Amino acid sequence: MPRLAVEIFVIANLGFLALDVFIAHEVNAFERWPEWIPFYFSLAAPLLLVIGLFLRRAHTALSFLVGWCSLAVGIAGMVFHLQSHFFGEETLKSLVYTAPFIAPLAYAGLGLLLIMDRMTDSESIEWAQWVVFLALGGFAGNFVLSLADHAQNGFFNRAEWIPVVAAALGCAFLLVVVTRPDDRTLLRATVTVMVVEMIVGAAGFAYHLRGNLAQPSPRLWDRFLYGAPIFAPLLFANLALLALLGIWALTRSRSGAPAPSPVPA
Amino acid sequence: MRSFRSVFIAVVIAAAMVVAAFMLNSRRPRTETDQPSAANVRAGGKCAECHSRETPAIVHEYQMSKHAEKGVNCLDCHGLNPGQERLDHRGFVLAKHLTAANCAKCHATQYRQFLRSRHAAPAWAAVLGPQGFTAEQIAFSEQYHPGGVNRKANPVAMLEGSVPTAGGCQTCHAVGRPNSDGSIGTCTNCHARHAASVALARLPETCGQCHMGPDHSQIEIYHESKHGVLFNAQRASMHLDAPSRTLTARDMPVPTCATCHMSGLEGMGVTHDTSERLSWYLFAEISTHRPNYGMAQTNMKEICLKCHTRPRIEEYYAQAEQQINSTNAIITQAKAIIDGMHASGKLDAKPLNEPLEFTYFNMWHYDGRTSKHGAFMGGADFVQWHGNYELAAKLIELQHASQGGEAGH
């Protein structure tokens, strides 16, 4: 069951990235043709994975195909984004306002999740640890991005510190869960933290939505194109969901599984 | 116990990350972390969020302005008007270049007054002639300033070419340039852009940006005059930003250029037609009355009366008009000599290609103007040494050349 849930999670995320990438690259008016690659990949990949769910023989092959391609798209995207002038100026402003080189790693993370899913026994504690570890990676990215983006905004509203604190909590609890997967009290506390992360994500979405709607741009679309990134806060809820899947798998695997290794292999 | 230790470790790690984030943020430069005020964000909207860091000086200028005080926001001025080139900027549609039309949306009366002045179309035409103006614009301006726009391009500008003209003449004369949106001129020459300041427009130095130098040395004359000396002594106690409609002699007990030429001092009507109180074409080769001579002189004398008695004003005007007549007489003599040399073939017909032609040009364009402006503005040294002395010396030079000296020596 956790495996199916994780696969559905990957399908939904890859599909949603099509919209996210479209908005992000529309700001750049898709100036270079490679900017279309992640968009079309995000349209095709979920279809292939859905087909794989119904074709048992091709399931693993399709998952690997999409997984490796997703990894390639993520790494290639990061390399393309590295051309941004942040590395020339090395200022926070250039980091925030140029192509975000961390963003394409979402593809890499989803690709790794698929590959790991196929390479590891989904009933093992190792599989669950990997899921939690990848959620931890996501929260680490969230910590950096929410800090950098809101710092660039000068923490205009004190509420902008909330995602920084939330991401730090997410990172810290998941890090300890990865190293101590059999600690029930810790798992319960982490579940609570992840629920809080979901609330933070929803509140962030509402804040960004309200801010964008209040903008004086003449067109509604422009308010979202150039305003606060509307979907970014939902990443908290998304990663919390992935972490909860990992914790669920941890609790299931612990009953009959062999003793876990302290750190994922 | 181990369980709680795990939670404790997680909380400590999270706290360390948050403290590190706080410390990083607190070490950032003030220029990056300072926020626009709530009032500024309300007025400037989205613009202030970025421009407080991208171009902080103009935001600060705006914050100090009356526009900010009244809640006029960035888009009120920078919005696109019909006929203006469009600029798409981070989701906002802006005018690529602002013109007087943008200001006229709120300040229509001032713009109409300005259109009647020589600061409008005649200012630009003084350099490049009527090119760029529509037939309607030319006809409108010619009602008030016959020959002001329907004229040839300036021979000096043609002689010097486009580069010095663009960087020199046109910078000041752009105050009356024809704009692509059908409007004329720019208000920012006098009021600046984001400061949008009436106090700035009342400063003599603002007028002196253009009204200076040998050909129109008003700022130098002003600073020599008692008006200028008193202004420099008392400027700290003057209220240059007082509202135009209720301006009193208490706000500005000493006149600046704007006081005499534009302001609504002590109940007088304020005007952006800088020609409204001028009775003579002092800049001209041979000065003549302006079409509204009588009314203009009455208007100006009304301002003089705020400080001076009528007999003193009449005496002053009479003396200044004597100076005009004297200068006209000298220039007429000089012109007769030059015309005679052209007629006799000593000078060819091409303008400004021989030294004597420059001598004559300097006489009326520099020395003649200076003597007349000096007489009206209380600049004795400019009447005498920078004006009449130069006129006398150059007239003798022309007479000598015409009576036997080498042509064009």
pLDDT on residue A214: 76
- Give the lowest-confidence range in A119-133, A247-261, B83-97, B227-241: A247-261
The residue of B1, B8, B18 whose CB has the most chain A CBs within 10 angstroms, and thus the best one to mutate to test that interface, is B18
pLDDT(B60) > 90 = no
Nearest 10 degrees: Cα torsion A35, A164, A7, A20: -30
Pairwise CB contact (< 8 Å): B25 & A151: yes
Write down the H helix ranges in B252-309. 257-261, 293-304
- Bridge partners for B289 per DSSP: B280
pLDDT on residue A7: 87
Q: What is the mean pLDDT of residues A215-224?
A: 71
Length of chain B: 409
Pairwise CB contact (< 8 Å): B3 & A219: no
The mean predicted confidence, pLDDT, of chain B is: 90
* A189 vs B7, B15, B53: nearest CB: B7
Residue type, B24: L
Residue B319 vs residue B25, higher pLDDT: B319
Pairwise CB contact (< 8 Å): A186 & B10: yes
Highest mean pLDDT among A92-96, A99-103, A167-171: A167-171
The mean predicted confidence, pLDDT, of chain A is: 83
pLDDT(B267) > 60 = yes
Q: What is the mean pLDDT of residues A123-146?
A: 89
User: Which residues of chain A are within 8 Å of residue B11 when distances are taken between CB atoms?
Assistant: 169, 172
The residue of B2, B3, B6 whose CB has the most chain A CBs within 10 angstroms, and thus the best one to mutate to test that interface, is B6
CB pairs < 8 Å spanning A and B:
93
The residue of B1, B4, B33, B46 whose CB has the most chain A CBs within 10 angstroms, and thus the best one to mutate to test that interface, is B46
Q: Which residue of B has its CA nearest to A140?
A: B17
Pairwise CB contact (< 8 Å): B10 & A175: yes
Q: What is the mean pLDDT of residues A147-173?
A: 86
Q: How confident is the model at residue A94 (pLDDT cuts 50, 70, 90)?
A: low
Q: Nearest C-alpha of chain A: how many angstroms from B108?
A: 25
CA A63 to CA B47: how far, in whole Å?
46
Q: Which residue of B has its CA nearest to A150?
A: B25
Residue B13 vs residue B408, higher pLDDT: B13
Q: What is the mean pLDDT of residues A9-23?
A: 88
Predicted ipTM of the assembly: 0.71
pLDDT on residue B125: 95
pLDDT on residue B56: 83
The percentage of chain B sitting over the pLDDT mark of 70, rounded to a whole number, equals 93
SS3 B79: strand
* A168 vs B18, B46, B75: nearest CB: B18
pLDDT(A215) > 80 = no
**Residue in the structure block whose two tokens are 């005498």:** B384
CB atoms within 10 A of CB B24: 13
Q: Nearest C-alpha of chain B: how many angstroms from A179?
A: 10
Q: How confident is the model at residue B339 (pLDDT cuts 50, 70, 90)?
A: very high
What values do phi and psi take at A120, rounded to 5?
Answer: -125, 145
Q: Nearest C-alpha of chain A: how many angstroms from B182?
A: 25
* A184 vs B3, B15, B21: nearest CB: B3
Residue type, B268: M
Q: How confident is the model at residue B27 (pLDDT cuts 50, 70, 90)?
A: confident
**Residue in the structure block whose two tokens are 């690659």:** A37
Pairwise CB contact (< 8 Å): B32 & A217: no
Q: How confident is the model at residue A89 (pLDDT cuts 50, 70, 90)?
A: low
Pairwise CB contact (< 8 Å): A223 & B28: no
Angle, to 10 degrees, between the axis of helix B108-116 and the axis of helix B135-144?
70
State the DSSP string of B343-379.
Answer: HHTSS-SSTT-SHHHHHHHHIIIIIIHHHHHHHHHT-
Q: How confident is the model at residue B43 (pLDDT cuts 50, 70, 90)?
A: low
Q: How confident is the model at residue A265 (pLDDT cuts 50, 70, 90)?
A: very low
* B17 vs A143, A217, A225: nearest CB: A143
State the DSSP string of B39-52.
Answer: HHHHHHTHHHHHHH
Q: Nearest C-alpha of chain B: how many angstroms from A214?
A: 9
Please say whether the beta carbons of A72 and A46 come within 8 A: no
pLDDT on residue A261: 47
Residue B17 vs residue B103, higher pLDDT: B103
User: Which residues of chain A are within 8 Å of residue B79 when distances are taken between CB atoms?
Assistant: none
User: Which residues of chain A are within 8 Å of residue B90 when distances are taken between CB atoms?
Assistant: 226
* A154 vs B35, B75, B90: nearest CB: B35
pLDDT(B58) > 70 = yes
Pairwise CB contact (< 8 Å): B35 & A180: no
pLDDT(B347) > 90 = yes
pLDDT on residue A262: 43
Pairwise CB contact (< 8 Å): B10 & A180: no
pLDDT in tens, B349-369: 888 999 999 999 999 999 999
pLDDT on residue B40: 57
Distance, first Cα to last Cα, chain B: 110
Tokens of B214: 């040998």
pLDDT on residue A216: 62
Pairwise CB contact (< 8 Å): A183 & B53: no
Pairwise CB contact (< 8 Å): A156 & B3: no
pLDDT(A221) > 80 = no
* B92 vs A151, A171, A217: nearest CB: A217
Pairwise CB contact (< 8 Å): A186 & B28: no
Burial group, residue B396, by CB count within 10 angstroms (0-12, 13-18, 19+): exposed
HSE-CB at B405 with a 13 A cutoff on CA atoms is 12
Q: How far does Cα B332 stand from its chain's mean position?
A: 31
User: Which residues of chain B are within 8 Å of residue A225 when distances are taken between CB atoms?
Assistant: 91
